Structure 1
Amino acid sequence: MGCARWLALGGLLALVGLLQARLLLPHQEGFGECDRFFYAGTPPARLATEAHVRICQRFAGTERFATLYSPGHRIPVFSAFRAARPALLSAEQRGLLEPQIDDPGSSLEEVIEEADAITSVNNLGSKQALNADYLDSNYEIGQLYPFLLSSGPQVPTFPLTNSVPMTRSFRERWHVNLNSLMERALIPHCGDGKDLYIITGAIPSDSRVKGRVAVPEFVWLAACCDVPGGGWAMGFTKHTQDSGIIEDVMVRDLEQLLPHKPQLFRDSCGEREQDTEKMKKILEVVNQVQEEERSLTTQHSMSPLAGTQSQRSAPLSPEAREGGGSFLGKVLGFLLTPVIKLFQLTYYLVIAVLRNVIYLLWFVTKQVIDGIESCLYRLGAATVSYLVAIGQELVGIPWKVLKVVAKVIRALLRILCCLLKTVCRALSIPLRVLVDVATFPVYTVGAIPIVCKDIAVGLGGTLSLLFDTAFGTMGGLFQVVFSVFKRIGYRVTFDNAGEF
């Protein structure tokens, strides 16, 4: 293994620490921050079930694409991403694992190597594919969102949650098809790809790799261009048979081929405003890609015969012409072979030790960095919380002062209102009443002598009346008595006079 390859491997190991995947909980809607990878922020309808797992694939704290994963088939249902220019760099294919799929209680939120997952993840492989599933099989790891379509080699397309079993020839042709379609047909007719939404998926068949990982019956791609006044939508399918050619279909027809007949794009990607002229141009390019694929298929089918003929007609090597070398060469080769083998063994042991040392240093460095990052995060969170609390209080002071001032002004207005009411009520009283009230004391004081005089006259009249009554009564009694005695005396006198 060359030095450059070791450096590349070390870089990939370092990148593993930056790859993250957020598994959405059942009560959460959509794909969280990864909703932006869907047209109008809306994931496909009627395609996800309760058994599926929604993953927001992230890198260095930034979401990169969304994946709907089927634990029952151990392959993704689809991966959704925004179109990007094909990457110029390449990297070794790797299969990383999502710890929380097999172990929901795991505290690991980042994708990890399978070797590390063996000791840290419970029930490993119970719900997702492993690298071991692809060993000694006729299938390779085929990414739905291909590494070569990402905008850079660091984009996390490596997880097995983004991969399905593909034969080598099918995987190469599928990725070549995607590259050609993106570079020549889709991106140029969608405003340089800034408003292009891509969904790639796989339909599982009854065949499984080692009885675990479902082999796709066919893979599909749906593209939606959201350009105002000039959008379009296209679909493509490719059967996993070696002779299959990528086929173009309308998105509505593609939806009929998928389970549960979902709606891939909201409002069918603005179907009423789609630009048919652009779709015709895209189909012309698609026809060219199909012709190129047919030509390549024909060449590959003829290549075994050509290879056999070339082998037959190729000249023998110098060693073959020499008849296997001299006797001295054979003896030297026999003696030097153990030395060479020992040197190779020492070389591999040194490389393995260096690899483990580098991995240990990387792991320790990662743990230290994670610890420092955690401490800094907590310190930053505490500082932010403290500053936010102080800011809230400082912001609240003017508000509280305004509330006090408002209450004072309100009290003053109430007092002024009461005074105005009093004045208004006072002004509403007649002037004569006010004059009478003002002159009441004068009249009262001036009337006292008259009242006293009237009282005295009344008392005098009363006494006079009493005296008159008493004297009149007595005079009347005397008059009655006098009249009685007078009558009695007259009668006596009269009687006496008759006698004489």
Structure 2
Amino acid sequence: MAPTFTLTNSAPMTQSFQERWYMNLNSLMDRALIPQCGNGDDLYIITGAVPSDHRVKDRVSIPEFVWLAACCAVPGGGWAMGFIKHTRDSDIIEDVMVKDLEKLLPFKLQLFQDNCGETEQDTEKMKKILEVVNQVQDEERMVQSQQSAVPLSSTTSKRSGPLPPEASEESSRSLLGKLLGFIATPVIKLFQLTYYLVVAILKNVACFLWCVTKQVVNGIESCLYRLGSATASYFVAIGEELLSIPWKVLKVLAKIIRAVLRILCCLLKAVCRLLSIPVRVLVDVATFPMYTMGAIPIVCRDIAMGLGGTVSLLFDTAFGTMGGLFQVVFGVFKRIGYKVTFDNSGEL
């Protein structure tokens, strides 16, 4: 750790990480952010670091990651993006939205007003920026690989001289060990594979038994729950019926009493009406059958006389009609005979 970051207003970083981060910032600014935001006049940049739990001498906190937020406020073609680089995985630059970056900050700050028009962004420019970010990461990996290859080449050049006999014996022993390791490696791998298969089978069997047991327990619980709910509802219904029996008995008694009272009222009304009828009317009602029986013969006689008169009237009508017809026929024939006699006398 470099001893230059001792103040609390500085973020302590290793020299290599600091150099790579500054190189990334310069590359992003020159090749992605400024070209995709006009001339950079409407480009706004905010950088910072998020502290971690590790501290230098229990005083200064080491950053967990550093971040950069960029906002291009060009009307109709703006964009807003954030970039994160962790101190542990220093080769990766993560691209995030501004809202997501604000959630990662300790105090949940709002970096740009209205998130710099995050809802209306130029996706084409953002894609180009991400392409440049990937190129910067690839270039950083290439630089790191070249730097790591330089000391390896120097060490190999130093060891390229003739080896002493002890070194040759050690090399032969190492070759024998490598040969034995090459032969034993498949067997070890086979045992490892068998072990992994057995463990996987046991895990699957245990999971299967656990699932079956869980299903059985759930089924038993559901059955018990249904049985308990049915029993409770049955007892509740029985209790309701038992509680309703006295009320129903009272209702029936009330209806019986009301019916009896109605019958008594009807009887009283009938008695009152009978008592209110005059005696003459009662005598007439009592003598009505006698008068009726005495009037039956008279009525029958009148009916018989009426029927006889009707029959005699029918006979008189029939005979009168026939007599009239005979008279008409006789008169017609008489006239016809007189005319014939008159005609014959003229011819003579």
User: Which is richer in strand?
Assistant: 1
TM-score, normalised to structure 1, is 0.30
* Structure label with greater radius of gyration: 2
Larger RCO, structures 1/2 (Cα 8 Å, 6+ apart)? 1
TM-score, normalised to structure 2, is 0.43
